[in-house]
Amino acid sequence: MNFFDAKITKENGKLFVDCGSFNLEIPAGKQKVYESHIGKEVVFGIRPEDIHNPKFTPPEITPAIVSGIVEVTELMGNEIFVFVENNGHNFVARVDPRSNYNFDDQIELAFNMGNFHIFDKSTDQAIR
């Protein structure tokens, strides 16, 4: 799983996970769970299989676009692991094998905001 130090913020009635170099809107149906953590430090977690090439994003997900620079690609046959850097954040995505990424490419990826985890930084417990 990819982990990012973050804070829960609120703006115009919407909640966000602020990871510093990128900000992700928490879907409306999940906001109530995190309201008591507004302003608190948390850890945002997302699995590589929940990060997609926007060209091949499944229609049923809730995408949030994050940019980055490709550091390494690893073709695994039916998928590609893409290791990405975003202003000091390093993460891995497991993308569709039709994706065409190369070293040092500036890319955008779609985080599935219907499938993420947020942990309380002080207790390491999942917030549910």
Which pLDDT belongs to residue 100? 95
Max alpha carbon distance in the chain (Å)? 44
The pLDDT, as a whole number, for residue 88 is 92
Using 50, 70 and 90 to split pLDDT, how confident is the model at 126?
A: very high
State pLDDT tens for residues 72-123: 999 998 999 999 999 999 999 999 999 999 999 999 999 999 999 999 998 9
Q: Where are the domains of the chain?
A: 2-120
| CA separation for the pair 5, 121 (Å, rounded) | 8
CATH class of 2-120: mainly beta
pTM: 0.94
Can you tell me the distance from the alpha carbon of 4 to that of 12, in angstroms, rounded to the nearest whole number?
A: 24
pLDDT (tens digit, 9 = 90+) per residue, 16-67?
Answer: 999 999 999 999 999 999 999 999 999 999 999 999 999 999 999 999 999 9
CA–CA dist 66, 51 (Å, integer): 9
